[in-house]
Amino acid sequence: MRIGVIGAGNMGTAMGTIWAAKGHQILFSFTNGSMRLQKALAAAGVNGRSGTPAEAVAFGEVVLLAVPWAAVGEALKAAGLLKSKVLFSCVNCLKPDFSGLAVGTTTSAAEEIARAAPDARVVEALPPMAEVLAAAHHRLAGQQISTFYCGDDAEAKAIVAGMLRDLDLEPIDAGPLTSARYIEPNGMLQVQLAYRMGLGSRIGIKLLRG
């Protein structure tokens, strides 16, 4: 396949290099570091070339958009018309300092609950589906399910982490209560997979490390 890469940064060059090794043809464009681009071109060998974003669009059956959120406008402008092209976006709208998302998340149930109960020490954790907890064992395919928790009170968080362990879940500290803005959509994603995408309720998330 011919793949046009717009955004030859860490992510775009890493993905493009692997695809080139798999035999795909890659055109890298829109880099902010010519050293990185040269390294990717060397790694891609005969399957790699470079050009402009417009050339990436003309070249690719698929266009990978792999730019920082702040550069999306400029990148799409340079790309020009995308006429039914498959645009594979791996752009997340991270704020430049990685402190949160620039669009889309404004609050969370946990923050609203903390506002409604200002005298409580709120900790949020979203365990797996009730069906998984109601079963005799709470592991899936033998593996322990990870459960993210967040809050602004260290002692309260430690108590909740212990309660999660008592459910045979692996507690993962996700930071302050505002992290509920990420944990709740993650829970919703699992609801979507279970009920809308047909995977059923015996699913869960595991955080891999290695």
Contact by Cβ (8 Å): 169, 138: yes
Smallest distance from the beta carbon of 38 to a copy of itself, in angstroms? Answer: 15
**CA–CA separation, 51 and 48 (whole Å):** 10
Task: In angstroms, give the least distance from the CB of 29 to a copy of itself.
Answer: 16
DSSP output for 29-55: E--S-HHHHHHHHHHHGGGEEE--HHH
Tokens of 92: 């997340």
* 10-21 and 34-44 helices, crossing angle to 10°: 10
Residue with tokens 């752009």: 91
Choose which of 51, 105, 152, 170 interacts with a copy of itself (CB under 8 A). 105
- What span, in angstroms and rounded, lies between the C-alpha atoms of 172 and 29? 38
84 binds a copy of itself (CB under 8 A): yes
Among 55, 152, 153, 170, binds a copy of itself (CB under 8 A): 153
Q: Least CB distance from residue 191 to a copy of itself, whole Å?
A: 5
**Binding of a copy of itself at residue 159 (CB under 8 A)?**
yes
Select from 31, 130, 154, 171 the one that contacts a copy of itself (CB under 8 A).
Answer: 130
85 belongs to the binding site for a copy of itself (CB under 8 A):
yes
Task: State how beta strands 86-89 and 146-151 pair.
Answer: unpaired
Please identify, using beta-carbon distances, which residue of 34 and 143 lies nearer to a copy of itself.
143
d(CA 7, CA 137): 45
Does 175 sit near a copy of itself (CB under 8 A)? yes
Residue 104 near a copy of itself by CB under 8 A:
yes
String of contacts with a copy of itself for each residue 10-49, x by CB under 8 A: xx--xx-xxx--x-x-------------------------
Which residue is it, tokens 């108590």?
Answer: 159
Residue 112 touches a copy of itself, criterion: CB under 8 A: yes
Tokens of 113: 């609950």
Near a copy of itself by CB under 8 A: residue from 49, 101, 152, 170: 101
Residue with tokens 């829970």, as numbered in its chain: 187
User: With binding defined as CB under 8 A, does residue 182 bind a copy of itself?
Assistant: yes
Shortest distance (Å) from residue 138 CB to a copy of itself: 8
